[in-house]
Amino acid sequence: MTGRPRISLEQVEHVARLARLELSGDEKERMRSELDGILSYIDKLRVLDTAEVEPTSHAVPLTNVMRDDTEVPSLPRDDMLANAPDRHRELFRVPRIIEE
Amino acid sequence: MSTLASLTAHELAGRYRRGEATPTAAVTDYLARIDALDPQVRAFLTVTREEALRAAAEADARFRAGTPRGPLDGVPIALKDVLCTRGIRSTCGSKILDRFVPPYDATVVARLFAAGAILLGKLNMDEFAMGSSTEHSAYFTTRNPWDLARVPGGSSGGASAAVAADMAALTLGTDTGGSIRQPAAFSGVLGMKPTYGRVSRYGLIAFASSLDQIGPFAKDALDAALMLQAIAGVDPMDSTSVDVPVPDYAASLREGIDGLRLGVPAEYFIDGMDPEVEQAVRTAIGALEKLGARTEPVSLPHTEYGLAAYYVIAPAEASSNLARYDGVKYGLRVPGARDVIDMYSKTRAAGFGTEVKRRVMLGTYALSAGYYDAYYGQALKVRTLVRRDFQQAFERVDLIVAPTTPGVAFKMGEKEDPIQMYLNDIFTIPVNLAGLPGLSIPGGFTQTGLPIGLQLIGRAFDEALLLRAAYAYQQVTTWHSRKPPLA
Amino acid sequence: MTTSWEPVIGLEVHAQLATRTKMFCGCRASFGAEPNTQTCPVCQGMPGSLPVINRRAIEFGIMTALAIGCQVNAHNRFARKHYYYPDMPKNYQISQYEEPLAEHGHLLLDAAGGARDVGIQRLHLEEDVGKLLHEGALETAQASHVDFNRAGVPLMEIVSKPDLRTPDEAAAYLKALRAILVYLRVCDGNMEEGSLRCDANVSLRPVGQSEYGTKVEIKNMNSFRNVRDALDYEIRRQTRALEAGERIVQETRLWDPDRGVTVSMRSKEFAHDYRYFPEPDLPPLDVQPAWIEAMRARLPELPAARRARFEQSYALSAYEADILTQGRGLADYFEEAARGAGKPKAVANWVLNELLREVPADDDRAVAACPIPPGHLIGLLRLIDDGTISGKIAKDVFEKMLRSGEPADAIVRREGLTQVADEGALGAAVDAVLAANAKVVEDYRAGKKAALGFLVGQVMKATQGKANPGVVNRLLMEKLPKV
């Protein structure tokens, strides 16, 4: 569309892996094309000279927001487990873990 | 049909005080209206009928005893489903939280309940607040009460439509890039995004942490003031909430705007915007001048870069905030996975909609090794430039007046291209980047009867001035009193 | 030609902080509770939850930083570190990345090769993850279980510079660091329970080369000994590989203490992309000088300084001083007793030889709970000094004091353990023993000096140990020639 593609199919697959999203073959291509378009639009940011500009991570310049080391009652266990898709007694249960 | 549902919250409160109506009567009225209209409008995901009637009975008793809690006691409200409500399903418009029942209330919810407000239900939204039309809800699309073939705006489409259609007296939505102000403009109601840090985000299901804010939809400025009063203020559970005193918003409402300096930003009147919108806004500026305000042109030169910066920052933070949706502790889990990684991938693929996936991918990419500086790092710097624009403008003016959106409510399915959809937020996004307060009030209608929004932007923590200006404008206009032609 | 390889070791220590509550929420941070009873929406990463920094954790971090000579970064902040794992509630960990709490410190080591200064790269704070339990062994489990009690507990990560050169040095570094943490009472230092964890990075390079070799990460070393053994093995493994011309793979290996080998866990060729960015939910920290000075004032005398002072002021040997300063509680105990009794050497002996059989040197709580408080030990020593009891009886009294918690004099009085020094009474006992042991007396006369000891023992036996040994000796010496 406009110049060379900014993102390849391999990159889409890599990012999908990082984001733990399973995408079908069609979805990957569609995603690649949409992201490409969005990235083209975002590229306009590069023209701005920001060498002397500090980044803004927080809209409000607060610092040192902290709390005392005082206990607050935890939530009842049943409340915390109530939404569990799978549980083993009082523990959350997940399918087997493999190292990737 | 009974008129209680057509009243503002403050009018309702007056009736309660004078014994002319009860909270139960009002809730019954609103529920009947929801039953009658919501099959068409589809604003509600969950209606909390029994809880509402129970709470109404308790409010009745307080009024009978002469001990109401305050201006919101007994007032029927509804909440965008992005807010956690204890014991009540909170989906965030997503399948991945379809059956999620939070064990706790968001701080704003607790404050509203403490004030005696009565919850009618939870409202539809674009999934995880990502969208500008509510078409990206995983459940169904909400319709604009002014034209059921059109969108109400998004992502707080349910919240704006409910107020517009008199299915709630007041609602809460959230605004990350315009998601209160834009639907307010499309739906013909008042919608306000407070200063970042004015209202606690504890219990707000996060989209973009440094941009999200909770705010009211209301039928008029006084109602908005009452709602903001109840929810504003520092919260020890939210480290980004600011410990700045909360003024009495209602008290200063009637002070007028004589002598107020209004800035009109050149960059907010662009080629390709709807000429009726431009015309309505210019007429509104004239009305404000007649009320005593002095206008002068201002420039916000980095406006066009704001959209691009937003579409890096917001998806980046979203990709991080949404990492927790993995089927382990709550929400959807796709069964039959080979192992936990397979479970994550399948669950997230099944549970997230297209727009969410797109933004998660975009955000993950922007934060990934090798791309951080060019994208996220650069966007944070551009954000500084956008903030500086406003800082400089506010050295010369007290408020900025502009259109809320470049166009009016579009037809469902009309904006399929993501970028076309993103352009809806071009006038609202910079305000989120700068963390400033902004509101949209009804500023007119198109010839075909579609609402047009007028945006006011203020200095940090100057919500009182925004509401004062809105109030003054609403004394000399009647746009906000018009009701959609629903049955 | 054989190359000489130089090991390069860096240690990464994670210490669970001894705060009452977690890093970002008010749940209790204690160990051993019923699963999932110490959680809330924040530490379980529920939708809508937000973190709030625990001030005490920051204070513990600052104190530790000062104790190990680090510069505290006035401006520091938290960052999100992303990776997916079932024990990660949010699938990101709130940690610190580009702006950690402190940097560039050092630890002085007293290792076998002499004093060495080991550099410390950085110190930062983060939250711990939940605990995973597998249905069977990890490799074959079909499912796993998660307990989030531990999720959110404050962790302090201290990363050394790659300045360590031998497994012994590494163990010494760990020991010294642990002692400081325990002294400051910021961590209980329990490696078996996991409140102090250690990972190592090991690489080899030809002696004289300045570039580092490929480093391998070693995990699962939960004691000083395991650290030493694991590093020992890994250095040998890498040496063998390099000498066979193989390439060292950058990876993570687990130490298997049963088999005595490191086992490959996962390849670090494709390193995790943690996608760090500043934590938007937490405003940055700005640690003012006044706060730092207040923390500096709270620092106790550190182990190395206290050890040196003990050697100096109390004329103790390096070995004695080392053990007595293992724990701050023990060191306090010793000083109180030594000053009160006015006899540091004697107190040292009692503490080292008797007290430490009952109480672990570095367990402050056990020391504080010891049935023999310093005052009682002082009392016991006084009774020995003034001759009320003999040294031997004193040991029995000590045991009784441990069991009952009573002071020495009460026990001695009640059980009539007062030493007998009266020459008349003792003289009779000595006479009786000499009469009953004529053969031994002859042996003694014949030159067997050791027989004296036997006779002394018999007198002690006859007097239920209450005889004053000095007097017994003298009487025997007087009477033996006359028999």
Domain ranges (residues) in chain C = 8-208+265-292, 303-415, 423-482
Residues of B in contact with A44 (CB under 8 A): 304-305, 308
Question: How many angstroms separate the CA atoms of C477 and C456, rounded?
Answer: 10
Question: Residue B345: helix, strand or coil by DSSP?
Answer: helix
Q: Quick one: what percent of chain C has pLDDT higher than 90?
A: 72
A65 touches chain C (CB under 8 A): yes
What confidence tens digit (pLDDT) does each residue in C276-316 have?
A: 999 999 999 999 999 999 999 999 999 999 999 999 999 99
Question: How many angstroms separate the CA atoms of B191 and B12, rounded?
Answer: 20
* Shortest Cα–Cα distance, B26 to chain C (Å): 31
Catalytic residues of B: 80, 155, 179
Best of A2, A60, A100 to disrupt the B interface (most B CBs within 10 Å) is A60
pLDDT of residue B341: 94
Buried b (16+ CB within 10 A) or exposed e, B404-437: bbbbbbbebeebeebeebbbbbbbbbbbbbbbbb
Q: DSSP letter at B376?
A: I
- Confidence band for C269, pLDDT divided at 50, 70 and 90: very low
Report which of C84, C86, C85, C21 is spatially closest to residue C51, judged by C-alpha positions. C21
Asked if residue B155 has a cis previous peptide bond (ω within 30° of 0), the answer is: yes
Residue B216: C-alpha distances to residues B46, B184, B453, C430 (Å): 19, 10, 15, 102
- Residue among B106, B239, B367 minimizing CB distance to C275: B367
Residue A49 and residue A61 in contact, taking contact as beta carbons nearer than 8 Å: no
B206 vs C52: CB contact, 8 Å cut-off? no
B474: its two tokens: 């609403």
B26: its two tokens: 């009002």
- Confidence band for C449, pLDDT divided at 50, 70 and 90: confident
Question: Residue C191: helix, strand or coil by DSSP?
Answer: coil
* Shortest Cα–Cα distance, A47 to chain B (Å): 10
B368 vs C273: CB contact, 8 Å cut-off? yes
Question: How many angstroms separate the CA atoms of C333 and B380, rounded?
Answer: 56
Encode chain B (487 residues) as per-residue pLDDT tens digits.
458 999 999 999 999 999 999 999 999 999 999 999 999 999 999 999 999 999 999 999 999 999 999 999 999 999 999 999 999 999 999 999 999 999 999 999 999 999 999 999 999 999 999 999 999 999 999 999 999 999 999 999 999 999 999 999 999 999 999 999 999 999 999 999 999 999 999 999 999 999 999 999 999 999 999 999 999 999 999 999 999 999 999 999 999 999 999 999 999 998 889 999 999 999 999 999 999 999 999 999 999 999 999 999 999 999 999 999 999 999 999 999 999 999 999 999 999 999 999 999 999 999 998 889 889 999 999 999 999 999 999 999 999 999 999 999 999 999 888 888 888 899 999 999 999 999 999 999 999 999 999 999 999 999 999 999 999 999 999 999 999 998 5
Which residue bears the tokens 């403009």?
B185
Quickly list H helices, C315-449: 318-324, 328-341, 344-350, 356-358, 364-368, 374-385, 391-404, 408-415, 423-436, 438-445
- CB pairs below 8 Å between B and C: how many? 91
- Residue among A20, A43, A54 minimizing CB distance to B384: A54
**Model's pTM, two decimal places?**
0.92
Residues 119-138 of C with CB under 8 A from A: 132-134, 138
CB-CB neighbours of B73 under 10 Å: 20
Transcribe B155-181 into DSSP letters.
SSHHHHHHHHTTS-SEEEEEESSSTTH
Residues of B in contact with A83 (CB under 8 A): 99-101, 329-331
Q: Which residues contact C122 (CB under 8 A, 6 or more apart)?
A: C70, C100, C102, C103, C104, C157, C158, C159
Q: Which residues contact C173 (CB under 8 A, 6 or more apart)?
A: C11, C107, C109, C118, C160, C164
Residue C147 and residue C130 in contact, taking contact as beta carbons nearer than 8 Å: yes
Residue C82 and residue C279 in contact, taking contact as beta carbons nearer than 8 Å: no
CB neighbour class for A30 (10 Å; exposed up to 12, middle 13-18, buried from 19): middle
Residues 197-226 of B with CB under 8 A from A: 197, 210-211
A80 vs B103: CB contact, 8 Å cut-off? yes
What confidence tens digit (pLDDT) does each residue in C133-187 have?
A: 988 877 788 899 999 999 999 999 999 999 999 999 999 999 999 999 999 999 9
C271 touches chain A (CB under 8 A): no
Residues of A in contact with C154 (CB under 8 A): none
Expressed in percent and rounded to 5, the helix, strand and coil fractions of chain B are: 45, 15, 45
- The pair phi, psi for residue C56, each rounded to 5°, is -65, -35
Rg (CA), chain C: 30
User: Of 3.30.465.10, 1.10.10.410, 3.30.9.10, 2.102.10.10, which CATH number belongs to C423-482?
Assistant: 1.10.10.410
C19 vs A69: CB contact, 8 Å cut-off? yes
